[in-house]
Chain A
Amino acid sequence: MRDLLRHPTGLAGAVLLALIAVMTIFGPLIAPYDPQQFHPLSRLQGPSVAYWLGTDQFGRDILSRILNGARSTILFGLGATMAGVAAGGAIGLIAGAIGGAVDSLIMRLLDGLLAVPDLLFTLLIVTVLGGGSGHAMLAVAIAFMPGLARIARSTVLSVRTREFVLAAQARGESPVYVIACEIMPNTIAPIIVEATIRVSFAIMLGATLGFLGLGAQPPSTEWGLMIAEARQYMFRNPICVAAPGVAIALAALGFNLLGDALRDLTDPRGRR
């Protein structure tokens, strides 16, 4: 942790994420207005003392909507990634640890899925399952699964031939012990690194789905949806679109920087 804060990229990421975390936890409490409250007399206003970031087409306070939206947006990113890591990690671990024909079969199937771009894949799943936050999250998790499974598997393969695993096999340990106690603890670091970077992709994908109307539904304050709803009024009050856009970009950047720093720190070759 101390190393992370000494790493310039890591520090920048941590600061951004601390900001986002405050918004996620305390957002609704510190918001000056109810995010759904209409102020018909002050529609599409620019920044003012009353409305720091101005108002949208219904006269709703943009700052309050951003602060409220942090929770759904960030939780979407975290939730989708965690589900993807759990499923992908488990599949990769099993494929790598068992090896042989089982491994070949699973990996060829996942390779097939990897060939489809993430966005197209999520669109397909959401179209089949129907829109909404939950389905969109599931779709992103499924889209992430093959890539995470690949990473988990390659880590397992490199750990599996290490001598401490051979030593466990020579002792006559059960396969469950070898996987759970010898292999798995040594595969966590690279998966966490990958997952951190993926959270930013998940946020972007979630925002994209929101924008396309396939994710969160109005009157949710999800940031992608905010952009979609305000896009017709973009030229009358650019902040309607810019504010959630910047928020998405900062959140994604924060996770990305943190992930990069974690990757540098966990890679012994990158250490000086």
Chain B
Amino acid sequence: MNTAIASARPDARPALEARAYSLAYETPDGLVQALKSIDISIPRGKTLGLVGESGSGKTSLAWAIMRYLPRNARELGGELLLAGESLRATSKSQIADIRGARIGMVFQDPSTSLNPTLTLGEQLAETLIRHRKMSKAQAFSEGEALLARTGITRPAAMMKRYPHEASGGEKQRVVIATAFACDPECILFDEPTTALDTITSRQILDIFQRLQQDTGVAALYISHDLALVSRIAHDVAVIHRGEIVERGATATLFRNPQHDYTRALIAAAPRPDIRLSGPAPDTAAPTVLATQDLTVRYGGRSLLQKLMGRGEAAVEGARKIDLDIREGEVLGIVGESGSGKSTIARAIAGIVDFSGTISFDGHVVQERGAISRSYRRAAQIIFQNPDASLNPRQRVGEIIARPLKLYGLAKGGAIEARVAELLAQVRLPAEFAGRYPHQLSGGEKQRVAIARAFAARPKLVICDEITSSLDVSVQAAVARLLVDLQAESKASCLFITHDLNLVRQLAHRIAVVYRGDLVDLFEAADFDAQKRHPYTRALLEAMPPPIHP
């Protein structure tokens, strides 16, 4: 009788549920608890946004639901339910029938979740053949229909392509089409737009929302991006160190956060209306850097390839860029990945060959070889990923002391004192000098990289996406630190980012690059003006609106 009631009201049962679910990993240092008594419940047709920083356990939960647990995982208790059925109790072969058919999954990076040796069509059809028992011909025609629903204009042609022949956005559409292929009850999204550009992300989210309305699927949407979650989720759960600290309807939770951690997360999200940097320098302030026709070419053919008549011609990473920065100014450069913004940074820092003219701090150079050591001292670059930009075999003290020794800025015992002073400036304790980079957190490492740059007493600091590999709560602190140091030292700053909300907080002027060209340059205050370049406007529209508590 109970089953009759349940089938009469299928919506009564949540599509996906976790009840007091706990998970731990066995490590050489003992049992580490990843999830502590997790309770979530997603009704049909709804999206639950699961927000947390790296290491919070959000991806572990997705793996546990998909039953992709690593061998050292120990489930300590609780239940995972798919439409009321226990997932923990299902056998391996039953799970294989559930994955892809009743639970779909969309991962962060479509280029790693697709098999490079199969065409996109084969991968999509495989799911249909396996779970919906279609013939190959049926599966391919159904696959085309599914692709068409995700907004791919020529689905038949796309089915024949291999993953490397499709763009990131197209690949993610194929993954989404696959996830929706068997009309699942629930789909898990694990940061599905993190690897994509702003405009593409926006399109992907629109497709998801449309498909969800059509199919009534329940979705668990895992992300670290609050602004993005606030746009698409009906309910939000905030996860911190394996525990759900707060949950609620999206609008209420963001308007009136209860838990301290949620408040801190929301406060850390960039808000363009709150400026972090001081007033713009006087228009009479001297120009520190000016580039003229700055062009960077990548690739080109080697001698052997030329002899064989093969190989690709050179690609222009940046084309005829004219920029200038005044003393004490923060110039923001925004653009998508591959737009050439990092290329410009690397040319000015003297790491890549360029043509054109760079006038900087009294030096006028027309080729990389002509860049002198005093130019290099005055122009310091900070990279995106501190894991890669700090030598893992050197101690923090050595790393920060290196520019002091190289440029003769301090000698003997003064070096140690200066290192301690620099560490204090980036708000790190002096004993960090004896540590190796791997003993530090991501934010701490980036502070070390910032200290190294300011150790050289630069006139220009080039920041290449320095916050994008960090967690939200750390990003804000690093951005604030940079602005403080920049104001104190009166250095100019070239701040490169893809985050429009952040750049509006920091920059005095903003340059927009698109496919190697500088398409727009304007005062930060004029951001919303109608006269902006169409590409700038498209970026602005695609951007999730900032959250206001």
Interface residues of A (CB under 8 A from B): 3, 6, 101, 104, 162-164, 166-167, 169-173, 181-182, 185-186, 272
Contact = CB atoms under 8 A, between A and B. Distances in A.
Given A101-B303, A163-B383, A171 B392 contact: no
Contacts of A104: 302, 304
Contact of B385 (A163, A181, A182): A163
Contacts of A101: 303
Contacts of A167: 381, 383, 389, 452
A101 B384 CA distance: 31
B72 interface: yes
7 contacts: A101-B303, A163-B385, A167-B452, A170-B376, A170-B380, A171-B406, A172-B350
B391 A186 contact: yes
A164 B390 contact: yes
A104 B306 CA distance: 15
Contacts of A162: 388
Interface residues of B, number: 34
Contacts of B28: 3, 6
Interface in B369-399: 371-373, 376-377, 379-381, 383-385, 388-394
B376 A272 contact: no
B349 interface: yes
B350 A164 contact: no
Given A171-B406, A172-B376, A182 B391 contact: yes
Nearest to B368: A169
Interface in B305-347: 346
Task: Identify the interface centre among A104, A167, A173, A272: most chain B CB within 10 Å of its CB.
Answer: A167
B45 interface: no
A202 to B, nearest CB: 28
B349 A164 contact: no
Interface in B69-85: 70-72
B391 A272 contact: no
Given A163-B389, A170-B376, 14 more contacts: A101-B303, A162-B388, A163-B385, A164-B388, A164-B391, A169-B350, A169-B351, A170-B379, A171-B380, A172-B372, A172-B406, A173-B406, A181-B394, A186-B391
Interface of B: 28, 70-72, 302-304, 346, 349-351, 371-373, 376-377, 379-381, 383-385, 388-394, 402-403, 406, 452, 456
B403 A163 contact: no
B403 A164 contact: no
Nearest to A166: B351
Given A166-B351, A182-B391, A172 B72 contact: no
Q: Is the interface of A mostly helix, strand, loop or mixed?
A: helix
Contacts of B456: 171
Nearest to B302: A104
Contacts of B71: 272
A272 to B, nearest CB: 6
Contacts of A169: 350-351
B146 to A, nearest CB: 34
A162 B351 CA distance: 12
A104 B371 CA distance: 28
Given A104-B304, A171-B403, A164 B389 contact: yes
B87 to A, nearest CB: 24
A171 B402 contact: yes
A203 to B, nearest CB: 31
B383 A166 contact: yes
A160 to B, nearest CB: 12
A172 B351 contact: no
Given A185-B393, A272-B72, A170 B349 contact: yes
B388 A163 contact: yes
Contacts of A182: 391
A184 B376 CA distance: 23
B390 to A, nearest CB: 6
A172 B456 CA distance: 12
Contacts of B72: 272
Nearest to B392: A186
A171 B406 CA distance: 8
A10 B406 CA distance: 42
A205 B392 CA distance: 37
A256 to B, nearest CB: 25
Contacts of B377: 171-172
Contacts of B403: 171
A166 B389 CA distance: 8
B455 to A, nearest CB: 10
B381 A170 contact: yes
Nearest to A183: B391
Contacts of A163: 383-385, 388-389
Contact of A172 (B373, B388, B391): B373
A4 B330 CA distance: 50
B390 A170 contact: no
B124 to A, nearest CB: 29
A14 to B, nearest CB: 18
Contacts of A185: 391, 393-394
A95 to B, nearest CB: 15
Contact of A186 (B303, B346, B393): B393
B139 to A, nearest CB: 35
Nearest to B28: A6
B377 to A, nearest CB: 7
A29 to B, nearest CB: 39
Contacts of A171: 376-377, 380, 402-403, 406, 456
